[in-house]
Structure 1
Amino acid sequence: MRAEIEAVADEIRQALALLRRHLDVDAATLRLDELNAEAENPDLWNDAERAQKVMRERTHLEQSLKDFHAIEGELDDGLTLAELGETEGDEATIDEAQAMLKELSTRTAKMQLASLLSGEADGNDCYLEVNAGAGGTEAQDWAQMLLRMYVRWAEAKGYKIDWLEESPGEEAGIKSSSIQVKGPNAYGWLKTESGVHRLVRISPFDSQARRHTSFASVWVYPVIDDSIEIDVLDKDLRVDTYRASGAGGQHVNKTDSAVRMTHIPTGIVVQCQNDRSQHKNRAQAMSMLRARLYEHELQKRESEAQAEAEAKTDIGWGHQIRSYVLQPYQMVKDLRTSVEKGNAQGVLDGDIDDFLEASLASKIDGGVGTEAEV
C-alpha cells in the first residue's frame, strides 16, 4: 500500500487510541446504558432539572460514542478500498481511498480537540455579552455585526439562543446585548472569544466614505447550576429596575420590568429584560451574576486568563484579540494564534470554527485552561 495512505492511517489510529483512553469507551458505554434506562423511567420528569441533566449527558455520550465507532468503521472501509485499488491496479480507486482517509483524518482531529473540552464548566451552556466600544454609531453597528456572527455560528451548530438583554444604539446597532447559548460544550467552545474585537472598514455612516476602525468587546462565562456554591450577600448587591427596550422589550414603556444587578465588591454588572415579570428577570439576573462570579474566580486562578481579563478594561487599541479588515482588503486575523481567513464575510456569517479550534489548542498546548474548584 502506498506510503502516504499508510501514514494517514497511522495518524488516525493514534488519534483513535487517544480518544479511546480519553472517552474510556467501555465505561462510557455502560454509563450510556444506565442513562437510557433512566430516560425510560416515566418518573424522571417529575424533577425537570434532573431530567434535563440526564438527557444532556445521554445526548453527549451517545454522540461521542457514535462518532468514535463511525471513525473506526470508516478507517476500515478506507483501507479496504485502498487494498482493492492496489490489487486491481486501479489508480482512481486508490485516489478515492486516499481522499477518504484524508477527510477522515481531519474529522478525527476535530473530534480529538472536542474531547479535550473537559474543564469543569466546558460542557455547560454559556452567557455571551457584547458591548460596543467608544465611537458611537460605528462601534454600535460593529457590536451588532459581532453578535450576529455568534448567533449564526450557534444556529449552525444546532444550539438554542435565548435573548436576555439588549440596549439599542441611538442610530443603528446596539450598545450592548446579552444572550444565553444552550447546547453541549457551548462554554468550552466559546470561552476563548472573550476579549476585544477590532473592525476596519469604509464606514456606511460616513458621507465622505472614509475608513474607520471600531472596537467591541465580548465576554463569555458559563451557566452554572446549584451544585456550585456561590455566596452572594444582599449587602453586596445594588438592584436597579428600568423599562425594557430592544429585542427583549416587547413591553417597552409599560412597566419597569428590566433588572440591572451590580455586585459592588467586584463591580460586575448583569442585566436581564427578557420577561414581562420583574421577579423572573431578577431571578435570571441572579443566575447570570452567580455565573459571572464563578467565572471571575476561575479567571483569578489562571494567570493567562487573568491577563485577558485585565485587557478587557479598555475596549480599544492594544487590547484586541482579533482584527476584521473589510477595507482595503478582506482579512480576519486572530492575534493570539495568527490564524487568518481571507473570506471575511464568511467569518461574519458565523464561520469561526478555525479560530475557536486554534485558540483552544493553543491553550491546551500551553497548559492553560485547567478549571479550578470554587
Structure 2
Amino acid sequence: MSKKLWCVFDLASKGEQIEKLETESMDPDFWSDNRKAQAIMQQLNALREEVTTWQGVAAQLNDLLGLAQLLEEEPDAEMQAEVVASLVPIEEQIEKLQFDLMLSGEHDERDVILSIHAGSGGVDAQDWAEILLRMYLRWAEHHRFKTEVYDYSEGEEAGLKSTTVGITGRFAYGYLRSEAGTHRLIRLSPFDAAHRRHTSFAKVEVIPDIENAIEINIRPEDIEVDTYRATGAGGQHVNKTDSAVRMRHMPTGIVVTCQNERSQLQNREVALKLLKAKLYELEQKKHEEETARLKGEHVQADFGTQIRSVTVHPYSIVKDHRTNYETGNTEGYLSGDIDPFIHAYLQDQAGGVAALD
C-alpha cells in the first residue's frame, strides 16, 4: 500500500473522530434523543469498521513483506508462489478501499432515495423506466443493500410512469449520486408493429436519506394529506392496501406518495421522510444556484441534462456523456453492472484520486 494512499485516508483524523464520538456517546443524556443517538452510533461503528479494515490490510502487507525478505535470503519456490497468491485478495481489497476514498461527500455514507420517471417516448419510455428500476434493484442486490419500493405507478400498457425506492446500505447515496439525470434508450421498439427504431427517455432523481441526521421543520398546517387505494405491479414491488398516502407540501407544491406499508400510519411516516428529503434537496439546490449566481457561473436549473445513452440498435453501446466512459456490454449493464460508470464518474469528480497506486 502506497504511503500516498495511506495519507489520503488520514488515519489520525479518523481516530480523532472516533474519540470525539465515543466521548459524546458516554454523556448521561446521550440517549434522550433516540434518533440522534442512533445516527451517531451508526457513524461511530462505520468509522471503527473503516479504521479496522485499513489496519488489517496494513498488517497483512507487513507480514507478506517480512516473508518476502526471508525469501530473498533463503529462496523457496513454493512459499514464493503462496506469497504471490496471497497478494491477489489484498489487491482487490485495496482497490475497493481506493474506490471508497472518493466517497467523501457530506452525505455519501447515507442511505438513498431513488426516483425514476418516464419521460418522452410514450410506452417505450415507460418500459425504459421499468428496465432502469430492475437494473438498480439488481445492482443493490449485488451490493447486498436492502431495497424497499415506496411507490409504484404503473404504465398504461407496460412499464411504469414513476417509482420511488429506498436503498439502505453504507455509501448507497455516494455510489448512486452519479445516476441523477436523464437516461436515453435507443432500440427497435417491441411496442411498434413495424418494429421501428425508437428513442425514449427517463429521469432518475437521487436524494440522500437525511431523516435522522438533519432537522427539517415542517408545520402540520402546511401539509395536505390524502389517502387512496394502492395500485401497482404487486409482488416484488408493492403490497396493495387500502391506506396509501399522498402528501402535499403546500408552500412548495412538492408531492410525495407511499403505498408500500400495510397501515396508513406507516405510510404517513414514510411519506413524511420522503418529503423531508425533497425539501432538503430543494434548499441545497437553492443554495448552490445562489452561490453560482454570485460567482457569475452558469446555473443548471435541474437534472434535465442527458447524462447517459444506451443504444442496442443498430449497435450495442452504453456511453456516459460526462466522463465519456463507455462499454459494449449493454446486457451486463442493464443487468446491474453499473459500477464502472460509477467509478468513472467519482474519479472524474475527485480529480484522479482513484488513480493512486
- For residues 289 and 71 of structure 2, the distance between their equivalents in structure 1, rounded to whole angstroms, comes to 53
Partner of 1:17: 7
How big is each residue's C-alpha offset from its partner over 1:298-354, in whole Å with a ceiling of 9 and x where there is no partner?
A: 2233359988963435xxxxx211111222222211111111122222121222122
Partner of 1:274: 260
Of the three residues 27, 32, 57, the one matched with 2:16 is 27
Instruction: Determine whether 1:173 maps to 2:154.
Output: no
Superposition pairs of residues 63-142 of structure 1, within 5 angstroms? 63-80=49-66, 83=69, 104=90, 107-142=93-128
Partner of 1:4: none
- For residues 239 and 193 of structure 1, the distance between their equivalents in structure 2, rounded to whole angstroms, comes to 30
- For residues 308 and 162 of structure 1, the distance between their equivalents in structure 2, rounded to whole angstroms, comes to 34
Partner of 2:345: 359
Shift of 1:178: 0.6
CA contact (8 A) 1:122 1:188 kept: yes
Partner of 2:239: 250
- For residues 350 and 45 of structure 1, the distance between their equivalents in structure 2, rounded to whole angstroms, comes to 40
- For residues 321 and 99 of structure 2, the distance between their equivalents in structure 1, rounded to whole angstroms, comes to 21
Aligned residues: 344
Superposition pairs of residues 280-291 of structure 1, within 5 angstroms? 280-291=266-277
Shift of 1:57: 2.7
CA contact (8 A) 1:142 1:173 kept: yes
- For residues 298 and 264 of structure 1, the distance between their equivalents in structure 2, rounded to whole angstroms, comes to 19
Between 1:331-340 and 1:109-118, the stretch displaced more is 109-118
How big is each residue's C-alpha offset from its partner over 1:213-239, in whole Å with a ceiling of 9 and x where there is no partner?
A: 111111111112355232334554443
> Per the alignment, in what secondary structure is the counterpart of residue 127 of structure 1?
strand
Shift of 1:45: 9.5
- Normalization by structure 1: what TM-score? 0.77
Instruction: Determine whether 1:152 maps to 2:119.
Output: no
> Per the alignment, in what secondary structure is the counterpart of residue 301 of structure 2?
helix
> Per the alignment, in what secondary structure is the counterpart of residue 212 of structure 1?
strand
Shift of 1:145: 1.0
- For residues 344 and 132 of structure 1, the distance between their equivalents in structure 2, rounded to whole angstroms, comes to 20
How big is each residue's C-alpha offset from its partner over 1:270-299, in whole Å with a ceiling of 9 and x where there is no partner?
A: 111112322332222121111111122222
- For residues 53 and 234 of structure 1, the distance between their equivalents in structure 2, rounded to whole angstroms, comes to 25
CA contact (8 A) 1:140 1:175 kept: yes
- For residues 88 and 274 of structure 2, the distance between their equivalents in structure 1, rounded to whole angstroms, comes to 43
Q: 1:100 to 1:251 in 2, by over 3 A?
A: closer
Of the three residues 173, 188, 202, the one matched with 1:202 is 188
CA contact (8 A) 1:330 1:344 kept: yes
Residue ranges of structure 1 left out of the alignment (5+ in a row): 1-8, 39-43, 314-318, 367-374
- For residues 277 and 26 of structure 1, the distance between their equivalents in structure 2, rounded to whole angstroms, comes to 43
Shift of 1:146: 0.6
Of the three residues 266, 269, 285, the one matched with 1:299 is 285
CA contact (8 A) 1:32 1:61 kept: no
- For residues 158 and 144 of structure 2, the distance between their equivalents in structure 1, rounded to whole angstroms, comes to 29
- For residues 321 and 92 of structure 1, the distance between their equivalents in structure 2, rounded to whole angstroms, comes to 50
Instruction: Determine whether 1:213 maps to 2:199.
Output: yes
Q: Aligned letter for 1:335?
A: H
> Per the alignment, in what secondary structure is the counterpart of residue 166 of structure 1?
strand
CA contact (8 A) 1:169 1:175 kept: yes
Partner of 2:295: none
Shift of 1:169: 1.2
Residue ranges of structure 2 left out of the alignment (5+ in a row): 293-297, 353-357
- For residues 144 and 352 of structure 1, the distance between their equivalents in structure 2, rounded to whole angstroms, comes to 16
- For residues 147 and 31 of structure 2, the distance between their equivalents in structure 1, rounded to whole angstroms, comes to 23
CA contact (8 A) 2:186 2:197 kept: yes
